[in-house]
Structure 1
Amino acid sequence: MASRTTRSRGATARRRLGAGIGTMAVLVAGATAPMAAATESPERDLGTAADYGVDVPTAGGLEDATVTSPTGRWFVELAAAPTTQGGSKAALDRAERSFKAEAAGKGVSVEVRQSFRSVWNGVSAEIADEDVVTVEGLPSVRAVYPVLRIQAPEPQAATSPDLATALAMSGADAAQSELGFTGEGVKVGIIDTGVDLDHPDLGGSGTDDTTAFPSDVIVAGYDFVGDSYNADPSSDAYQPVPQPDGNPDDCQGHGTHVAGIVGARPAAEGGALGVAPDVQLGAYRVFGCDGSTESDIMVAAMERALADGMDVVNQSIGAAFQTWPGYPTAVASDNLVDAGVVMVASIGNSGASGTWSAGAPGVGEDVIGVASFDNTHVKAQMLEVDGVEFPFMPASSAPEPPTTGTEDLVSAGAPSSAQAQSCNANPVASSVAAGKAVLIQRGACTFYEKALNAQKAGATAVVLYNNVPGLFSATVAGAEPITIPVVGVSRDHGVQMVNATADGATLAWTDRVGTAVNPTGGLISSFSSYGMTADLQLKPDLGAPGGNIWSTYPLEKGAYSTLSGTSMSAPHVAGAVALLLEARPGTEAHTVRDLLQNHSDPAAWSLNSGIGLADSVHRQGAGMIDIDDTILSTTSVLPGKLSLGESQGGPVERTLTLTNAAETDVTYATSFDDGISTHRNPDAPSYAWAESVVDMPASVTVPAGGSVDVTVSIAPGSGLNLAQYGGWLFFTPEEGAALSVPFAGFAGDYQALELFGDLGDLPLPAMGVLLGCDRFIGADCVAGGEYDLAPTGHSYTMADGDIPQVILHMEHPAQRLTIEVIETVQGKKGAVEKVATLVHDEPYVGRDSAGISVRVWDGRVPTTNGKSTRAVGDGVYQLRVTALSPMGDPANPDHVEVWTSPEFRVDRTD
């Protein structure tokens, strides 16, 4: 390919950057029935995201930017190893003292906030952005990473099914009732918002603030932050100073819900029953009552959980789009596994943003990163059309639907027609809708636009029906309030209602609530994030029920609630791990994930489940866990997954080891199946399927008590290029269930993917100017503010945030991002020279979702002796931004993208 040294772009005119145009990663899935032969087939085009009603996120405005370190703090990794990796606390103490002394010798101010010794080696500290390059060069320092802000997990829209239906999906009900395992003797740590210590289903008294801590159920824990802590600078309640105490009680709710999924035991009829109801819990609170936390606090919680003797740790939190396993929270999680603790983490809720949207710590190499599947049943309100009942979901930001009364029902148009969607180009007419409830199909525009058009046409209510299988929860928030009820029904029910309107139909509102089969039950949840990791490791690893899960909630908030998210699927797996550890004491922490993957079940493609294709491996991993089969199994295949890397060098060979602990020989027939391969093409998001080329023995016999190695060769199917692909290898015995091993890789030259992307029709990278800011951390605007493109030759005053802003849209992750300032200097003999000085060095950069990220330069450069920094003089400068492709060679120009800014001026007012 051609050199990737890219264009030098500058804005020739001032342009306000508000809401932009989003881009989306794309997906591809494969067949659900195992393929018998390894024959090559061409790529099958499955259309675009829009063809399946996928709501592509629009770009966040340029005010939605991330900056150099969004918290003003940095992880400083020291050269000495943590204790879990054979290091000593004394050596780390010495290393930290050396680091502080070295920093002081260079004139760098360092304020240490957290010191880490067991699961990570280093500190988190407040360091000025301009000093980070100097810190990276200190002898005691291995690397520097920004401390990220982590939003409190936001549950997805949910209905109210029974937790029992979720337990049945994973076999947890059978493990409890038929095999007799309840997690007894296993300790599970919950790193979250805390746990309601008084909840009776979690061993509490049932009365607020009357339960002693620790209790028989919640045996350990700590509050790292305090009630008022809130690390979100855009919040009026911003309070970033932790105020720890010994009581990890939950005032937010999320952690109590998570804890109940793991180990609730009903204190009375109607209470919640968790996956492992006899576990003991550790509660590690890293959030205040509202707002965000920061990633160094998560690492501190991991160290405490290890010290408290937890066997399993669940983290239903993470940093979206941080797909690098080298980020400190992921590395610390891996080190916990090395110390014998099974680490389970949610993979993230950014599925609408497409591929490479998973987050740390779920992307950790040894972490069990968990996807979400929708529950099989939902509880929903019911309406009637001509006497036939239909379940519905009320839309948020609209009036509550009535529970009595009738009204005429009409259709905006025939299904799939432009009129049926009632967007601005074809709004429903008042002659159709006035005085009636109107049926409108999902798709082509926002729910709000549809509801507003119906409201303006005089409709009394709106019944939205899906354009893909399943019920859904709409939101109709907008500038002009929606004043009529809006509800959502499934696609099939909506079409049935449309047909009824041909002869005139009547809608009757009822007060009835029923349990309905969820059409998307057992399929990947729409919000569940995609992998792989930035270094092409297969993620997520497997999945569990996470869509529409009813569980415990703080007493003062109603005691029970239904939430959705990978936050709910991760604790389901953590509870399943507790059942497995009780059934098989001494199982090595690194082996637990392999065993679960061997018995997980791949699911059909969630966007079109009826065409016989399986969802993407990098969306569901091994599939839905099957804990009772895992416990009963006497055979295994290791490793439990295959990460194949890029296919540019041809087929990839891997060795699998089949082990048989039974008393008789077992013969396996081999086969494979493909999942959807995904292209990330911002101009034409598309789905495709192509059969992989797999070469392995047709059968394998494993002797009793023995093991056999099997060599497998895998290549992507014909026609796939610059796409994530994958599938499952199956080993099926003459009797019993098949063992499976998921595989995933990248078809083509991974380093050919574009790193610097445009944002819709806006060419980026570009220089920007900050128009206003409500709050700064150092030179970085962290609340409020709006950005414009800077005109060529723009002058920055270097005061009140008017400093050079580099505006980027990272289309893909980068292994490293550096910025050099190019300064025009006068040479010794009068010649003008250009001198480049490194001012920013950022490893492990995630991709941007649908918006931008901003890096700033405060006008300072290191001094020639490297001991401090100096402010540059007024004059003309440029910035050179360099991005290294994931797994790339910095010496290979094809693996590097470079953007050099237009010239700009530094012109200080003082």
Structure 2
Amino acid sequence: MRMRVSHATAALLGAQSAFSTPIRTRATDANAPRVANDTVETSDILPGAYIVEFADENDTPSAFYESLAADGVQVEPRMDLSFRFFNGVSFQVRNSSSNSSVPGGWQFLRRMQATPRVRSIWPARTTRLDVRDGPRVPDAAISTAPNARVKYQTQTERTFSPHVMTQIDRLHAEGVTGKGFRIAIVDSGVDYTHPALGGCFGPGCLVEVGYDFTGDNFLPGVRPAEPDDDPMDDCVGHGTHIAGTIAAQLVNNEYGFVGAAPGAKLAAYRTWGCTSTSTVEIELAAFARAVEDGADIISYSNGDSSGWAQDARAVVLSRIVDSGIPVVVSEGNDGGLGLFYASTPATGYSVTGTGAVSNTLFPALLQHGSYTTDSNSTNTNTTTDFGFLMGVPAFAADVTLPLWSAVGVNNACEPLPDNTPDLSQRVVLLEFPDSRATQCYPQDQGANIAAKGGRFLMYYERSNLTMRDEPYVYADGIQGVARAIPYQAKHWLSLLEQGSTITVTIPNANATQVRLEELENNISGGYVAGQLTSWGPSWELSMTPQLVSPGENILSTYPTAMGSYRVMTGTSMATPLVSGVYALLGEVYGKLDPKRLRRILTSTSKPLAWHDGRTAHPDILAPVPQQGAGIVQVWHAVHTTAELSVDSLSFNDTDHFAGNQTFSVQNTGSTDAVFELGHRKAVTMYTMRPGLDVPRADFFPNPIVEEWADIQFSSKKITVPAGGSTNITVTCTPPTNLNATLLPVYSGYITLGSASPHNTLVVPYLGVAGSMRSTPVLQPSQVYLADFNMPAPANRSYVIPRPDPENPSRTDRGDQSTTPNVYINPTVGTRVLRVDVLHGEEVLGSLAGWPQIHVTRGEVRAWFNGLLVDGTVVDEGWYSFRIMALRIFGNEEREGDWDVVRTVEFSFTYKA
């Protein structure tokens, strides 16, 4: 293998940071490991660092660097990025006087792109793992001792619900387990010591090969990478959870579930250390290592919200797929931000971008309590176990006290009556308030209960899904708070109404017994996880995600040092299940032809009904940009005898409308197959929010339009002979009566009905009833010299530290009021976003860390510290910024395809 870390990499990775700060919109796990005072934003550009792919596959790093030096460009090598599907390097441009004639920023990118030796160039960037936990027991309550847990399920021999939802259980019943395939996990490593993950590492083990590219403490710009041969995950857990979803074993598994492909082997590549931060270069190196180590399938559960298919990772992963190795990528967890917020590299043309469906069951790992019931009629005591979720404040000591209900006294939302008993020796049962409807808050209830001596609260709500939310009560006198399962609270209330005495025993927060409860998810179970899965389409108007699988509330393995099991949520959790599905398909079909298998998977998937976050609408399907082809149905994928030549259709936008498209149906069976062509509508949505002076993207659920495309077929019924194929031509008439400036996205499904359920196929389609190119990227009201989030006045004066061009990472940001900075909020994505520094009418060059390429919509901030991207330190004086963005489908050479905004002028001096 030729891809390797150069000798200079560690020092260089430890010396850089970013000058552009995307303002984060993703939620991150508050319990994920953090390093004090160390901050790296998602997808920061590493100033002056670039990734280059050579035009000639026989070119070498040394020859390339010699050519740069001959052109007067002095660089430091970062990484040698040469392997089977990519030949190139990453390097750092030196900020020195010897490079003063070398243009920076956009000019440097254009110059390099025009060099015959360069095929492509990208600014090097940091990446950050997006981690979301589901309900979990506080770490203090977790013991690694096997006998510390109590296994409990609501019914005996329950089948693992994610497998039931995707038909994996039916293939397992037929003996198909994915044996003979190696699945590479590019993630935070794997705790291979976990009993359910084989307990060892190396040949003969479940995790048979791997590599650590970062070490524990790697943080770009702060601490260098420390790579080694041990991909152990004992501080993040993300990769270990994914490993269990793919290949958890039944032996030594306390909760009795297996992975999607328990017969497969695993390879683990650690690209994030304990800080959950990495770089694009390291991830490319991991993809390369996985290929060179013989991976049959690659599972990658991360990305960022670029939405473009030309990102370096998307390009490389698509080539890996084209070579015959399926790659499955998580779609992203920004569903709340609406349309056109797809994650890269899930947008890669050949990869399988995967969204998340809510689990039909809600597994909750809860602490273990008990209660006794003394019935007035029988005077007998019975002891029953129950599960609960510890809240804040947690119970500091074991408590055994009678239960008293506040439900009948206005739920303690008002001062309790005079005849209220002394509550100091009781646990108070009450419903968590809906503050929007009642103006009652937990602290109000806590204060009213404490006024009667109460110290301990046991909350409940009506939805099972609330068992993932720890209750917080900040009221003087309250010493312990917990949450009960709804069915348990209902039972208690019934017993109390009958006059029974219930005495509950609640252990302290350090108690070690854990209880698995599998609760029904009767609110969102089986629907696309509304505000979770990032929406497509890509900025090139391709379908993404391709499909969806269970990803919300998923039970799997976790590092033994962190509790051994955890319920987590994210498209990260959906991705490994689909990776395992590819192994199942490979075992049945005898080989992995990823493009063919992706077509089979999508055509046999089940489109899901629309759920708007509150209510299900069974009469219409969820949009294709949210769910792709629908939820995987792998048993149908294995048993179908009909194959399509496409996995989706894009009718594009009004400027590039392709209304007539043809695909074929192949019959691999031994008898003729008859199909009836049909059309199922999905929800049509506006991308932009109606009623605004300037277009702004709306949030989930976007405005719905009661208009749909009209789909016609060359024939409504076809017969495909055994072993033969038949073409179908589809004609689309886009919906009318729409506001095209709001970018309406229409979609639906072409159906091929058959007498055999496994031969009933779908072709998802989408289109935009508006012009992408006519939609402005930049608008003056959304781009300005900023004082925090407000426009700064013209002629503002600043005093800033003088930058050190040899160590720029220490002066790349500042206070939003005292440092010149530009607030940029693109309306839609752009392939190129420039920030240039102007002195009068003279363009001095790009701001350090700029331009950005393959940018999504959303807030970005650019900081000025007196430094240009080529290392030039700007003289004191008067300046302004010019911000330029290329419109979607725009031509870089055409001036009219760029949006340009110039800020007001400002002046600055350097501190003495």
Q: How does 1:41-80 map to 2 (within 5 A)?
A: 69-72=44-47, 74-80=49-55
Aligned to 1:112: 78
Q: 2:857 aligns with which of 844, 847, 850?
A: 847
Q: 1:765 aligns with which of 783, 786, 800?
A: 783
Deviation at 1:332, TM superposition (A): 1.1
- CA offsets 1:110-153 (integer angstroms, 9 cap, x no match): 34234233333432333479834454213234444333333234
Deviates more, 1:715-724 or 1:304-313: 715-724
Aligned to 2:822: 806
Aligned to 1:175: 171
CA spacing shift, 1:230–1:861, aligned 2, 3 Å? closer
Conservation of the 8 A alpha-carbon contact between 1:347 and 1:358: yes
Aligned to 1:524: 528
Matches of 1:488 and 1:885, distance apart in 2: 53
Q: Does residue 564 of the first structure (1) align with residue 569 of the second (2)?
A: yes
Aligned to 2:748: 727
- TM-score with structure 2 length normalisation? 0.76
Deviation at 1:842, TM superposition (A): 2.4
Aligned to 2:768: 746
Q: 1:617 aligns with which of 619, 624, 627?
A: 624
Matches of 1:742 and 1:264, distance apart in 2: 33
Deviation at 1:217, TM superposition (A): 2.4
- CA offsets 1:621-670 (integer angstroms, 9 cap, x no match): 11110111101111112211123321356562222211101111111111
Q: Does residue 314 of the first structure (1) align with residue 314 of the second (2)?
A: no
Conservation of the 8 A alpha-carbon contact between 1:371 and 1:529: yes
Aligned to 2:685: 678
Conservation of the 8 A alpha-carbon contact between 1:408 and 1:507: no
Q: How does 1:295-374 map to 2 (within 5 A)?
A: 295-319=280-304, 321-374=305-358
Q: 1:540 aligns with which of 514, 538, 545?
A: 545
Q: 2:555 aligns with which of 550, 555, 560?
A: 550
Aligned to 1:230: 219
Conservation of the 8 A alpha-carbon contact between 1:323 and 1:356: yes
CA spacing shift, 1:64–1:310, aligned 2, 3 Å? closer
RMSD: 4.2
Q: Does residue 220 of the first structure (1) align with residue 209 of the second (2)?
A: yes
Q: 1:157 aligns with which of 134, 138, 141?
A: 134
Aligned to 2:16: none
Aligned to 2:124: 147
Matches of 1:220 and 1:754, distance apart in 2: 49
CA spacing shift, 1:813–1:501, aligned 2, 3 Å? farther
Conservation of the 8 A alpha-carbon contact between 1:70 and 1:149: yes
Structure 2 SS opposite 1:574: helix
Conservation of the 8 A alpha-carbon contact between 2:555 and 2:566: yes
Q: Does residue 907 of the first structure (1) align with residue 909 of the second (2)?
A: yes
CA spacing shift, 1:813–1:212, aligned 2, 3 Å? closer
Deviation at 1:301, TM superposition (A): 0.4
Q: Which amino acid aligns with 2:756?
A: E
CA spacing shift, 1:659–1:392, aligned 2, 3 Å? farther
Structure 2 SS opposite 1:332: helix
Structure 2 SS opposite 1:359: coil
Deviation at 1:21, TM superposition (A): 12
Conservation of the 8 A alpha-carbon contact between 1:200 and 1:266: no
Matches of 2:219 and 2:536, distance apart in 1: 29
Aligned to 1:284: 269
Matches of 2:495 and 2:826, distance apart in 1: 49
Aligned to 1:878: 880
Deviation at 1:538, TM superposition (A): 1.0
Aligned to 1:439: 431
Q: Which amino acid aligns with 2:718?
A: V
Q: How does 1:202-221 map to 2 (within 5 A)?
A: 202-204=197-199, 211=200, 213-221=202-210
Deviation at 1:68, TM superposition (A): 9.2
Deviates more, 1:189-198 or 1:348-357: 348-357
Q: How does 1:597-608 map to 2 (within 5 A)?
A: 597-606=602-611, 607=613, 608=615
Q: Which amino acid aligns with 2:676?
A: A
- CA offsets 1:340-367 (integer angstroms, 9 cap, x no match): 1100111112223333333222221111
Deviation at 1:64, TM superposition (A): 9.6
- CA offsets 1:240-296 (integer angstroms, 9 cap, x no match): x11111121222322122112111222246454111111121111112134312221
CA spacing shift, 1:699–1:893, aligned 2, 3 Å? farther
Matches of 2:892 and 2:400, distance apart in 1: 65
Deviation at 1:798, TM superposition (A): 4.5
Q: 1:249 aligns with which of 214, 224, 232?
A: 232
Q: Which amino acid aligns with 1:363?
A: T
Q: Does residue 637 of the first structure (1) align with residue 638 of the second (2)?
A: no
Matches of 1:272 and 1:513, distance apart in 2: 12
CA spacing shift, 1:185–1:882, aligned 2, 3 Å? same
Deviation at 1:836, TM superposition (A): 6.5
Matches of 2:500 and 2:738, distance apart in 1: 49
In structure 1, list runs of 5 or more residues that go unmatched. Answer: 1-19, 25-62, 82-87, 205-210, 414-419, 421-426, 770-785, 825-832, 863-867
Deviates more, 1:876-885 or 1:67-76: 67-76
- CA offsets 1:785-806 (integer angstroms, 9 cap, x no match): x888543212344526465321
Structure 2 SS opposite 1:410: coil
Aligned to 1:708: 726
Q: Which amino acid aligns with 2:227?
A: P
Q: Which amino acid aligns with 1:704?
A: A
Q: Does residue 693 of the first structure (1) align with residue 703 of the second (2)?
A: no
Conservation of the 8 A alpha-carbon contact between 1:661 and 1:704: yes
Aligned to 1:736: 757
Matches of 1:457 and 1:99, distance apart in 2: 73
Conservation of the 8 A alpha-carbon contact between 2:24 and 2:42: no
Deviates more, 1:129-138 or 1:430-439: 430-439
CA spacing shift, 1:315–1:461, aligned 2, 3 Å? same
Conservation of the 8 A alpha-carbon contact between 2:442 and 2:473: no
Deviates more, 1:220-229 or 1:572-581: 220-229
Q: How does 1:82-101 map to 2 (within 5 A)?
A: 88=57, 90-91=58-59, 93=60, 97-99=63-65, 101=67
Matches of 1:332 and 1:281, distance apart in 2: 21
Q: 1:196 aligns with which of 186, 191, 199?
A: 191
> Of the two structures, which has the highest relative contact order with CA contacts closer than 8 Å and spacing of 6 or more?
1
Structure 2 SS opposite 1:147: strand
Q: Does residue 131 of the first structure (1) align with residue 104 of the second (2)?
A: yes
Structure 2 SS opposite 1:116: strand
Conservation of the 8 A alpha-carbon contact between 1:441 and 1:464: no
Matches of 2:627 and 2:854, distance apart in 1: 24
Deviation at 1:671, TM superposition (A): 1.2
Deviation at 1:688, TM superposition (A): 1.2
Aligned to 2:510: none
Structure 1 SS opposite 2:67: helix
Structure 2 SS opposite 1:819: strand
Deviation at 1:767, TM superposition (A): 1.5
Deviation at 1:812, TM superposition (A): 2.5
Structure 1 SS opposite 2:837: strand
Q: Which amino acid aligns with 1:409?
A: A
CA spacing shift, 1:278–1:649, aligned 2, 3 Å? closer
Aligned to 1:408: 405
Structure 2 SS opposite 1:222: strand
CA spacing shift, 1:406–1:67, aligned 2, 3 Å? closer
Q: Does residue 450 of the first structure (1) align with residue 418 of the second (2)?
A: no
Matches of 1:663 and 1:76, distance apart in 2: 51
Deviation at 1:856, TM superposition (A): 2.9
Q: Which amino acid aligns with 1:898?
A: V
CA spacing shift, 1:100–1:817, aligned 2, 3 Å? farther
Conservation of the 8 A alpha-carbon contact between 2:601 and 2:634: yes
